[in-house]
Chain A
């Protein structure tokens, strides 16, 4: 099958892109890497009447601005794997992005595309939620900053409105060197995850000063584990290796979606197992300083 007819517009500036998106409203869509959108159009699961190609916009930077790093919508997945700021301050992002698809997909897919597409099992939405990232969106009406907690609304559903596009995502820099881990299970190397978990923490003299834990596969959007975070914060890092009952208390609250790949119960147990391993690994890395 091939896509339904549409009109193609190549935006030459952000203002131009926003004017085109405003003009076409519900009928218009940004086209970034095309790694999700064109696949959906080929299947006729998406039939936008107007595509606004944003690939010429200057949104390809990763830069430090005050206490955040600001990542442009057109930063390709692969770029995270060789960026010094990411390596130094966001080791878990690096580890998670390495799990996105295959090399050709990582070379062409973009940050803005992945976050806006909001696939329930995609890595970047999970990493954004883990780090409480802020999503910056622009339209002719101006710029809007959206907390990642409010951005993801459902499977393939975000807080973006017609005429609006994501321009940046901001991650707050940690106060001290963070430790953490990202783990996922997929059917085949590079496939979308059946479930994924991520942990990031800062410690001080062997005590967990701050910890964030997130997972996908548990719901239609990536979620945090506030109870589990509270149970571990302030404890010794050795508690990470023996968090079994706190993990069980968290996963007992989950009702993961069941599908052809995994039943709800299988996903719940998978998340528990991945969490145990990710927490233990984060603790080990902290003690070994790596």
Chain B
């Protein structure tokens, strides 16, 4: 067992973990963050994406011990309990989710992309949006709504169009 300190969604906590515990499991089991979904545990589906020190990372390919002293952010924190982040709201409007299993992963993967595009003040084309989300798998939506939600969230942030 190794003693580590994690700052998860702003809360600092020390805990003892086995080296082999995946960050995804520790977030779900020790921090009760059920928004961290584990679809494949192989890096293929993107469902478990969280931010480690601000950077998207697959929590199924990360050991909790690697994150000692680091800050971790999950979907629970990104838009608060009411899911108020611009991207979450756009997901609702554009019917970008059905069962919702993949949604936290898509939000955590794409929120920084929306920010990056807003900083560049640029509305990406559909191809670029599909590239940005290519690491995430959704079984339900056919992706069209997700592409639209991302487009709307960026358009809203750069002020080039009212959301549909």
Contacts and interface: CB of A to CB of B under 8 A. Distances in A.
Interface of A: 1-8, 10, 31, 34-35, 38-39, 41-43, 51, 53, 55, 101-105, 107-108, 189-190
A104 B56 contact: yes
A5 B19 contact: yes
Given A55-B66, A189-B134, A104 B19 contact: no
A35 B62 CA distance: 8
Contacts of A189: 130-131, 134
Given A1-B41, A42-B41, A43-B42, A103 B132 contact: yes
Contacts, number: 83
A190 B43 contact: no
Interface of B: 2, 18-20, 22, 25, 41-43, 46, 49, 55-58, 60-63, 65-66, 68, 109, 113, 130-132, 134-136
A4 B62 contact: no
A2 B49 contact: no
A8 B20 CA distance: 8
Q: Is the interface of B mostly helix, strand, loop or mixed?
A: mixed
A102 B135 contact: yes
Contacts of B46: 102, 104
Contact of B62 (A6, A38, A51): A38
Contacts of A34: 61-63, 66
B66 A4 contact: no
Contact of A7 (B19, B22, B113, B136): B19
**Looking at A6, A42, A101, A103, which has the most chain B CB atoms within 10 Å of its CB?**
A103
B19 A39 contact: no
Given A34-B61, A43-B42, A108-B57, A101 B20 contact: no
A3 to B, nearest CB: 4
A248 B132 CA distance: 37
